Amino acid sequence: MPEPIFQPLPDKPDHPALEREMLAQWGAEGTFAKLREQNRGGPSFSFMDGPITANGPAGVHHGLGRTLKDVFQRYKASRGHELRYQNGFDSQGLHVEVQVEKALGFNSKHEIEEYGLARFARDCRDFVAKFAGIQTVQSKRLGMWMDWGNDYFTFSDTNIEYIWRFLKAVQEKGWLYKGHNATQWCPRCGTSLSKHEQAGEENYEEIEHPSLFVRFPLRGREGQSLVIWTTTPWTLPANVAAAVKPDAEYGRNDVGEWVAVARYPEEHFEEKVRGEDLVGLEYEGPFDYFAAQEGVVHRVIPWDEVSLEEGTGIVHIAPGAGAEDFELSRVYDLPVLTPIDEAGRMLPGYGELQDKTTEEVVDPVIESLRDRHLLVEATSIVHRYPVCWRCRTPLVFRVVDDWFISAAEIRQPMLDGNATVEWTPPQYKKRMDDWLRNMGDWNISRRRFFGLPLPFYECECGRLNVIGSRAELEERAVFGLDQLEELHRPWIDGVRIRCEDCGAEVERVSEVGDAWLDAGIVHFSTLGWKNPEWIPGGYATGASRGLSGADLPDHAYWEKWFPADWVSEGRAQIRLWFYSQCFMAIALDGREPYGRVLTYENVVDETGREMHKSWGNAIDLDDALERMGADVMRWVYCSQNPAQELRFGYGMAEDVKRRFLTFWNSVKFLVDYANVQGFRPAWRELQPEGELVALDRWLVERTNAFVLAAEADYEAYETVAVMREFEAYVDDLSNWYIRRSRRRFWGDDEAALRTLWYAVVQALRVLAPILPFVTDRLWRSLVLDGPESVHLAGWPKVGEPDHVLLDEIAEVRRVVELGRQARSSSGIKLRQPLRRLVVEGARLDGHLEEVADELRVKAVELGTVEAVELRVKPNLPVLGPKLGRELGAVRAALAAGEFEELPGGRFSVLGRELEPDEVLVERGGREGWAVASGDGVVVALDLGLDDELVLEGEAYELIHGVNSLRKEQGFELTERIILSVPEALRGLVDRHGDWIAREVLATSIDVGEQLEIRKS
Ligand SMILES: [Zn+2]
Ligand SMILES: [Zn+2]
């Protein structure tokens, strides 16, 4: 036998091993560099990477996002596009700080201050460097092709400077302000949190809190009191008012307690009044003996929002400890008492409660109220309560000064911008609109350390100085420049500038910025917006020095690459990154920063549960890569609808491997027979021509149809559709073309080999973006003189396929499928030949023989299937509610056969029409027939057997048995054998010996003791 032309394939792929080999080969050959070189100067496709937070190893949910980014970059590259491939790391802000604190064992800001801000900043940088390195290794292993080493890090000085530019621009527009604001506050992180950070469902937990009913004695009304309800005892010492619903009815019971009547419908009231009649009454506060309460006059105020769904209908108001309370304080000019500090501990002025946390004050508050006969009842309640998105600590409200950017003027331009964006899946566009319509002003300040330093310098003269660049800082600095290692705290805090109005020396405010500023600016900072000159290595400044070699391009480059053609992140980013990048781009340039978005839901386990380490169902990305392989993971991700939660697990991986094996086996079949026949294809003659039989022509057309369908799916950013097309294609390839052509491969039929080679090679090119490893491995086995890698082969160019031919074969396959169904319902073995099949409702011109052969029947007839007995029953869950009492009559009419079948699966009965989903249809064969139907086609299989058919069935059984033996005993595909059969089969051999010998490659058949084969 000649040297094999194609590298033989194992029976099944070892995905992880194969992938490691391919990674090594890509590295050695510089495949990615060659691809970039090949596409240089091609039409640009601008993808902007949303930065991954470098605060831990990547998880399987990151695997999803990274896969999708890689798939579409690879697809666009296969179309000849030039891409940037810049990866981004999100590298400062709360997500990094909290992890570093954990690593250091800290649990408060105070500990960081003692440790030293410079050391802490260095630790944060090292921490980011470590995980950026780990994430890079993981991403490469997943097959992600990026310009690794030239990543952007959001903590670079360049990135910071670009945000400064943005902040200066919004100040010039008059949008920047400092607000005295009630804000959600994390006592552990010691900072306020913005609405967009906290908005997700996941940022709520079921938490048990105290539930207190408390009396507020009314002044001047002896023996009467208001009763209020609260779940936050720590806010009672800051109470200043009680709110009633003005148009609701309130009643006083026999012990003098006022509550809303609607809340206590069973109660007997001595007196009833409207809420507005209580407004203006004064009462004794629950903690008037605290110094903080000195001079506060407590009174009843009206508030339309008072709920009559919970509590007593009278709401205790503490403007320093609640958002709505704070709003009311503005309307009614109420004093604002702020009871807790940054760490959530009671401030001086609150007596024995001072320094206690909001939890620690619960018992003393209850005791004090009870001692003074103000407590009605103290129990507990479990309710949904917001927790810190970063550290899961329950939040409190504080009134503080924060920096805001007003959303008022930009809201409409952002909505207009979103109207130009194409979203996949499309329904997310409306989610973005909803967010934009409802977004509040952007709270950009955080009271933290390792984040974007806000370049705000407030002067006593009233001037707010905003620095827009490092150059401006240097120009206006009074001192501190010499120690400015980078633009982070503590170094930036050592620089003082001169006030541009009064010339006084001013220091920076202590706050840092929201991390979404960092990620939102990258369309400007990484592309060199308004940068006059290209600076090699110029992006990698400050903390990112040494971590990245990225250039700072010039403005012409920005013009070329902005706006991005495409971005892709998870759905939660609608209120985070998608929002912040739009906000910043529209503020700076007036344009939307991206044209298309692909977004997706979260990853859950294969049973649909969220993954949690503590539940034991979490999967490490590294484990998945090693146990499943990257291609299998990518298949799992890409074959699901991104608008639903995406499932992921080892069971699904096994299923994918099994499905992929059909394709692998087809390729292996080609390789094995091509090697036997010495078939050597030429890349320049890819398209099969010449001696093609009808089936070959069909496969060429079918392949071209697959290429075009997949192209449309990729263009629509729908991997799930690509995978669906691929599976249907593989079914046609394997279960029709190869099945129907098998014999031709045994002979020397080059047309069959060439056609199959064409099909497989084109399929590999289509699939390469999704399964980059195994496709390239197979490519290298099959393509001997073409591009060295499938990734350098480009997208296949094919003509419009012959749809008439495709429809024709699709119909043939449908009939065959129905024939199989009929056979399996009859219980007769597939190998047993039958007399005839009657087909109704399908055109099978020229394919009768194929159908007969496939279904092993002697004849196929087109005609009316008389054998059908149609049984129609009501689908009760659907039809029952619709018909009500009429159901009985309809059911009886259906049972009696008093109905008419209408086109499209509908039925007419008793003058009404029933839809396909309202009925259950069974088609039974008459005695001796098996029937199946679907899509308007009905087939009936004659089940009658005679001696001749039975004998033929036995011959097929024997052929099957011998071929199994050949495999078991390791005979080569073309090796000849001598066959011995037992005496009982003598008659069979006499009748069908030649045929059997041909099928099992026997040179002779003799009758002996038992069934055996040996070398001829
Ligand atoms: Zn927190
Ligand atoms: Zn000044």
401 CA → ligand 2 middle, Å: 20
pLDDT of residue 81: 98
Q: How many Å lie between the centroid of ligand 2 and the Cα of residue 466?
A: 12
Q: Provide CB contacts within 8 A for 559, sequence distance 6+.
A: none
pLDDT tens string 388-404? 998 999 999 999 999 99
What distance in angstroms lies between residue 457's CA and the mean position of ligand 2's atoms? 9
Instruction: Answer whether residue 636 shows pLDDT above 60.
Output: yes
Whole-number Å distance, alpha carbon 110 to ligand 1 midpoint, is 14
Cα 572 to ligand 1 centre (Å):
19
pLDDT, mean of residues 464-468: 98
- 923-936 average pLDDT score: 78
Burial class (CB in 10 A: 0-12, 13-18, 19+), 255: exposed
Alpha carbon of 446 to ligand 1 centroid (Å): 12
Question: Mean of the pLDDT values across residues 286-312?
Answer: 95
Give residue-wise pLDDT tens across range 941-980: 999 999 999 999 999 999 999 999 999 998 887 889 999 9
Residue type, 228: I
Ligand 2: centre distance to CA 175 (Å): 21
The pLDDT value given to residue 870 = 75
> What is the pLDDT confidence band of residue 2, given thresholds at 50, 70 and 90?
low
Q: Among all ligands shown, which has an atom nearest to the Cα of 394? A: 1
If you measure from the C-alpha of residue 403 to the centroid of ligand 2, how many angstroms do you get, rounded to a whole number? 19
Q: Find the 444 Cα to ligand 1 centroid distance in Å.
A: 16
pLDDT digits (tens, 9 = 90+) for 228-277: 999 999 999 999 999 999 999 999 999 999 999 999 999 999 999 999 99
Which residues are in the CB-under-5-Å shell of ion ligand 2?
A: 459, 461, 463, 499, 501-502, 504
For residue 369, pLDDT over 60 is answered with yes
477 backbone dihedrals φ, ψ, rounded to 5°: -70, 140
pLDDT one-digit tens code per residue, 720-764: 999 999 999 999 999 999 999 988 988 778 999 999 999 999 999
Spatial distance between the Cα atoms of 200 and 860, rounded to a whole number of angstroms: 62
What is the predicted pLDDT for the residue at 925?
67
Higher pLDDT, 908 or 596: 596
- The whole-number average pLDDT for the span 120-135 is 98
Which tens digit of pLDDT belongs to each residue from 837-887? 999 888 888 899 999 999 999 999 998 876 566 778 888 888 887 888 888
Q: Is 19 exposed, middle or buried (0-12, 13-18, 19+ CB in 10 A)?
A: buried
pLDDT (0 to 100) of residue 867 = 52
Q: What stretches of 477-520 adopt beta strand conformation (E)? A: 477-479, 496-498, 505-506, 512-513
Confirm if 260 and 249 have CB atoms less than 8 A apart.
Answer: yes
Rg (CA), the chain: 38
C-alpha 390 to ligand 1 mean position (Å) = 5
Exposure b/e, 175-205, CB count within 10 A at least 16 = b: bbeeeebbbbbbbbbbbbbbbbbbbeeebee
Percent of the residues in the chain that have a pLDDT greater than 70, as a whole number:
99
Closest ligand to Cα 462: 2
Q: What is the CA angle 569-574-579, rounded to 5?
A: 110
- Distance between Cα 107 and ligand 2 center (Å): 38
| CA 151 to ligand 1 center in whole angstroms | 29
**Mind giving me the DSSP string for 35-80?**
HHHHHTTSPB--B-PPPEE-SS--BHHHHHHHHHHHHHHHHHHHTT
CA of 450 to the centre of ligand 1 (A): 15
Q: Which ligand is nearest to the CA of 390?
A: 1
- Report how far apart, in Å, the C-alpha atoms of 181 and of each of 278, 329, 443, 580 are: 29, 11, 10, 21
- Mean pLDDT (the chain) is 94
- Residue range 102-118, pLDDT digits in tens: 999 998 899 999 999 99
pLDDT, position 884: 80
Token digits of residue 890 = 């309809």
> What is the number of the ligand closest to the CA of 342?
1
- Centre of ligand 1 from the C-alpha of residue 618, in Å: 23
Tens of pLDDT, residues 488-530: 999 999 999 999 999 999 999 999 999 999 999 999 999 999 9
Distance 387 CA to ligand 1 centre (A): 8
Q: Which residues make up the environment of ion ligand 1, defined by Cβ < 5 Å? A: 186, 188-189, 388, 390-391, 393
**Distance (Å) from CA 385 to ligand 1 centroid:** 14
> Residue 826: pLDDT above 70?
yes
pLDDT category of residue 435 using cuts at 50, 70 and 90: very high
